Amino acid sequence: MRQEGHPGREVVQGLAVLGATGSIGVSTLKVAELHPERFRVVALSAYERAEELRALCQAWRPALAAIHAPEAARRLTQSLAGVGTEVLAGPAALERIVCDPRVTTVVCGIVGAAGLKSAWAAVAAGKRVLFANKEPLVMSGHLLMALARSSGAQLLPLDSEHNAIFQCLPQPRAGLAEAGVRRIVLTCSGGPFRNTPASEFATITPEQACAHPRWSMGRKISVDSATLMNKGLELIEACRLFEATPEQVDIVIHPQSIIHSLVEYVDGSTLAQLGNPDMRTPIAHALAFPERIEAGVARLDLATMGRLEFEAPDEERFPCLRLARAAAVAGASAPTVLNAANEIAVEAFLSRALPFAAIPRVIESVLEARPVVPVESIEAILEEDRMAREYARRVVGGHRAKGAAAC
């Protein structure tokens, strides 16, 4: 990032890394460590991993740190005596962090709807906002994009697929039609059960679902990848970020995860972004945009790869794709309801209260029960999220009762 009027002079970005102990946060700090002249870590947050957050604060000495529980914050304050880090607690702490004037760039790495309010605050404050968690854009993307236009915030995608699309589009970018884009193609590894018969889905365990063949991720997103809901959420995110219709976004299974996504133009050209499956590549791209910096990622050797494979996704075996596309088409409150139902179903699966095969059934039940209504404020979105979660918990309870009766 160059300072205007001072050629060759670096402007140090003040980073706030939300979800610093997760895979995105760890990868972000690895990239930042390679470029101390460019990045200064101002703030770090974690939900409950206090010891890991303490170690990061001792290494990076940020001005601010945040953790959810007040008691954990008290202990963290004691253990960081002399480091110079102010420790904050509670949900409002994240909003204070992103609005701090020392913070210029916010990395949103909090999983799920829990990251919505802090992302909203960062955009409202006009920051450079790097989105790794797709849920805020799924839930409120139309409002977030409008807010960014009014606040002057810069939104950059960290998801490998959306970052790839961003790289394959002309910059600065007008609409897709003005750029001559015919369609966007999201690639998908297919997850750990790409070749597993649907008849075996009922016995899949959380451990099996979290064993992703290509990426190292948290448990929730790993399950989303196993059901292919992650790709469904990414479809909605692509529509929000790039002002595309659901009909303009396709999905293709690509097990090697080397091509991260593609953009097809009306003249028959298709541009693809390739790279080893390592999140440091899109993170480095977004952190330094419009420049390029070293990410510490191994070079891609296509000769060693041998071949790249592609196939169409099977929506009969993975109905979450169908449900996500239907929610994208319906718009309004439907994506919020989809996301809420999915989070409750995945949580139940991870706690062994719901079988893997029932995850899409719970989501579909909630989508059928909840009416599609306009959502034109964050308060309306949060209310739809709350009601959808309540209904989803009842549906999960019904599944548990049926299972107990069957036993």
The Cα-based distances of 70 to 75, 239, 264 in angstroms read: 9, 38, 50
Q: What is the DSSP letter of 20?
A: T
Over residues 150-197, the pLDDT tens digits come to 999 999 999 999 999 999 999 887 789 999 999 999 999 999 999 999
Q: What is the mean pLDDT of residues 141-158?
A: 96
pLDDT score recorded for residue 331? 96
pLDDT score recorded for residue 401? 65
- CA 166, distance to chain mean position in Å, is 15
The Cα-based distances of 26 to 23, 172, 220, 318, 348 in angstroms read: 5, 30, 17, 31, 27
Greater model confidence, 95 or 11: 95
Reply yes or no on whether the pLDDT at 59 is more than 80: yes
Closest by alpha carbon to 253, among 188, 318, 183? 188
Reply yes or no on whether the pLDDT at 208 is more than 70: yes
Sheet with 181-188, edge to edge strand ranges = 249-253, 181-188, 259-265, 270-274
Q: What is the mean pLDDT of residues 357-361?
A: 97
Reply yes or no on whether the pLDDT at 404 is more than 90: no
Residue 21 has φ and ψ, to the nearest 5°, of -90, -5
Greatest Cα-to-Cα distance within the chain, rounded to the nearest angstrom: 73
- Which of 84-88, 215-219, 319-323, 401-405 is the least confident region? 401-405
Reply yes or no on whether the pLDDT at 2 is more than 50: no
> Is 406 strand, coil or helix?
helix
Reply yes or no on whether the pLDDT at 9 is more than 70: no
pLDDT score recorded for residue 103? 98
pLDDT score recorded for residue 10? 55
Greater model confidence, 179 or 9: 179
Residues 6+ apart with CB under 8 A from 242: 165, 169, 176, 184
Helix (H) or strand (E) holding 151: helix 135-151
pLDDT score recorded for residue 216? 65
> Is 390 strand, coil or helix?
helix
Q: What residue type is assigned to position 258 of the chain?
A: I
pLDDT band (50, 70, 90) for residue 275? very high
How far is the C-alpha of 371 from the C-alpha of 55, rounded, in Å? 46
How far is the C-alpha of 152 from the C-alpha of 229, rounded, in Å? 32
The most confident of 1-10, 29-38, 301-310, by mean pLDDT: 29-38
pLDDT band (50, 70, 90) for residue 4? very low
How far is the C-alpha of 169 from the C-alpha of 288, rounded, in Å? 17
- Would you state the structure tokens that stand for residue 263, as one six-digit string? 């953009």
User: What mean pLDDT, rounded, does the chain reach?
Assistant: 93
Which letter, b or e, does each residue of 94-113 get, where b requires 16 or more Cβ atoms within 10 Å of its Cβ? bbbbbbbeebbbbbbbbbbb
Q: What is the DSSP letter of 114?
A: G
> Is 85 strand, coil or helix?
coil
Over residues 76-92, the pLDDT tens digits come to 999 999 999 999 998 79
How far is the C-alpha of 201 from the C-alpha of 229, rounded, in Å? 15
Q: What residue type is assigned to position 217 of the chain?
A: M
pLDDT band (50, 70, 90) for residue 215? low
Kindly report whether the global pTM for this prediction surpasses the value 0.85.
yes
Residue 175 has φ and ψ, to the nearest 5°, of -70, 165
pLDDT score recorded for residue 403? 60
- CA 101, distance to chain mean position in Å, is 25
Closest by alpha carbon to 348, among 278, 290, 403? 403
| First CA to last CA distance, the chain | 62
How far is the C-alpha of 69 from the C-alpha of 56, rounded, in Å? 18
